[in-house]
Amino acid sequence: MTGDGNLVARLYGRGDIRVAPEAVTAPPGEEMIRVEAVGLCGSDLHWFDEGSIGDASLDRPLVLGHEFSGVIADGPRAGERVVADPFDPCERCEWCRAGRSNLCATGRFAGFTGTDGALRTTMPWPGRLLRALPDEIGTEDAALLEPLGVALHAFDLGEVQAGGRVGVFGCGPIGLLLVQLARRAGASVVVATDRLEHRVAAALAAGATDGLVILDRSQSGATDGRGSSGPIDVAFETSGDDDALTDAIAAVRPGGRVVLVGIPYGDRTAFRAGDARRKELTLQLSRRMLPGDLTTAIDLVTSGQVDLSGLITDRLPIADAARAFALAASRRGLKVIVNPGSSV
């Protein structure tokens, strides 16, 4: 199938999003998707703000967007509502063969250098990476399934025990999903911190037992991000901010665990080594999700064990993609969704 005149939002440089019509063709073996909803992620904001993410930089105008759902446009699966796994692994390397394809170095990722993402009206993507959506999950909520998959992988790395004490440092969408996963796993205490009051309020609504708005560093240092029950066992740092990591290290008990989920600006993370060393902490980094996490995410939402309602605070058509990025960068809400199939 060839789509002519589809609206496409491309990033041409830092802060430079342009929307224009383009033709698109589905390569052999790929399905053409009518994209219905695309979530803007913190990693998308790195591209938008810095023109890069980690050691990858913008080498040509790039279509961002890797949290997406839509409808298959033609072929045997025409009309099927789907959510996409945005990573297309090589399936040959040692990591793919070991079931850890998130570590594959040669696969392609939607909205990453060399591979256009979902901020367009229609796009091709391999059919094997498209999961059917049950009726219980709406199209917009489906765009949050990939972030839930990322949260699931990070949570598994945290090795949270029933009755344990958990901290979430950064209450954006992934942080809020980690709050839910912690309570679902039986954590007795879930401390949530953020610099933004509305995000801490959202964490408390999601099940956090303690919420702390970090107004300045003196306040943070005085509390160390601890809950009312003292030091925590596992901390999830989801903001990519060194101050949040400092708080997480301070809050965790000796022998505890800190999982770094957020992506730092400037591709650098720094912390006081002495604090972490004296406690003999485990610092665990997390990348994307494992192959089965998207299916698990669908099951958890369908069964009502995870609630995605309330995470979406803003919806804009693709014609307003530049404004959507500016809104996401302002962090005035939670999740910003772009609806490529909508004109308003």
DSSP 46-100: HHHHHSEETTEE-SS-B----EEEEEE-SSTTTT-EEEE--EE--S-SHHHHTT-
Q: Over the stretch 233-278, which tens digit does the pLDDT of each residue have?
A: 999 999 989 999 999 999 999 999 999 999 888 888 989 898 899 9
The neighbouring-strand residues paired with 62 are 11
For the chain, percent of residues with pLDDT exceeding 70: 94
Q: How confident is the model at residue 94 (pLDDT cuts 50, 70, 90)?
A: very high
Burial (Cβ within 10 Å: 0-12, 13-18, ≥19) of residue 322? middle
Mean pLDDT of 77-90: 96
Q: Read off the amino acid at residue 90.
A: C
Mean pLDDT of 279-298: 95
Q: What is the pLDDT of residue 344?
A: 53
Would you call 197 helix, strand, or coil by DSSP? helix
Q: What is the pLDDT of residue 57?
A: 83
Query: Residue 290 CA to chain centroid, in angstroms?
Result: 13
Q: Please report, for residues 44, 160, 318, 323, the alpha-carbon distance to residue 336 in angstroms, rounded to integers and kept in the order given.
A: 11, 30, 12, 10
- CATH for the stretch 2-144+308-339: 3.90.180.10
DSSP state of 320: G
- Domain limits, the chain: 2-144+308-339, 151-285
Q: Which helix (H) or strand (E) holds 181?
A: helix 173-184
Q: What is the pLDDT of residue 341?
A: 83
pTM: 0.92
Q: Over the stretch 201-243, which tens digit does the pLDDT of each residue have?
A: 999 999 999 999 987 655 544 345 555 568 999 999 999 899 9
Q: Please report, for residues 51, 69, 95, 122, the alpha-carbon distance to residue 36 in angstroms, rounded to integers and kept in the order given.
A: 26, 6, 32, 9
DSSP state of 267: G
- Per-residue pLDDT for 326 more than 80? yes
* CATH topology match: 2-144+308-339 vs 151-285: no
- Per-residue pLDDT for 171 more than 70? yes
Would you call 113 helix, strand, or coil by DSSP? coil
| Site of tokens 């992934």 | 174
Mean pLDDT of 141-154: 97
Is the domain spanning 151-285 CATH 3.40.50.1970? The answer is no
Angle at CA of residue 333, ends 337 and 134, nearest 5°:
40
